[in-house]
Amino acid sequence: YDLILAANGYHSLGDYKRALAPGGIYVMAGGKTRQIFDVILLGWWYSRGGDKKLANVMAHSSVPDLLVINELVESGKVKPTIDRTYPLEQTADALRYLGEGHARGKIVIKVV
Tens-place pLDDT, residues 65-84: 889 989 998 999 988 889 99
Does some domain include residue 28?
yes
Does some domain include residue 85?
no
Does some domain include residue 68?
no
**Domain span including residue 17:** 3-63
Looking at the 3D structure of the chain, how many domains does it have?
1
pLDDT digit string, tens, across residues 11-59: 788 888 899 999 998 888 777 777 777 878 888 887 887 888 877 776 6
Q: Following CA atoms 26, 30, 31, 36 in sequence, which dihedral angle do they give, to the nearest 10 degrees?
A: 70
Does some domain include residue 88?
no
Strand ranges in the chain using DSSP code E only, listed in sequence order = 3-6, 25-28, 53-56, 82-87, 106-110
Does some domain include residue 37?
yes
Does some domain include residue 82?
no
Does some domain include residue 11?
yes
User: Rounded to two decimals, what is the model's pTM?
Assistant: 0.51
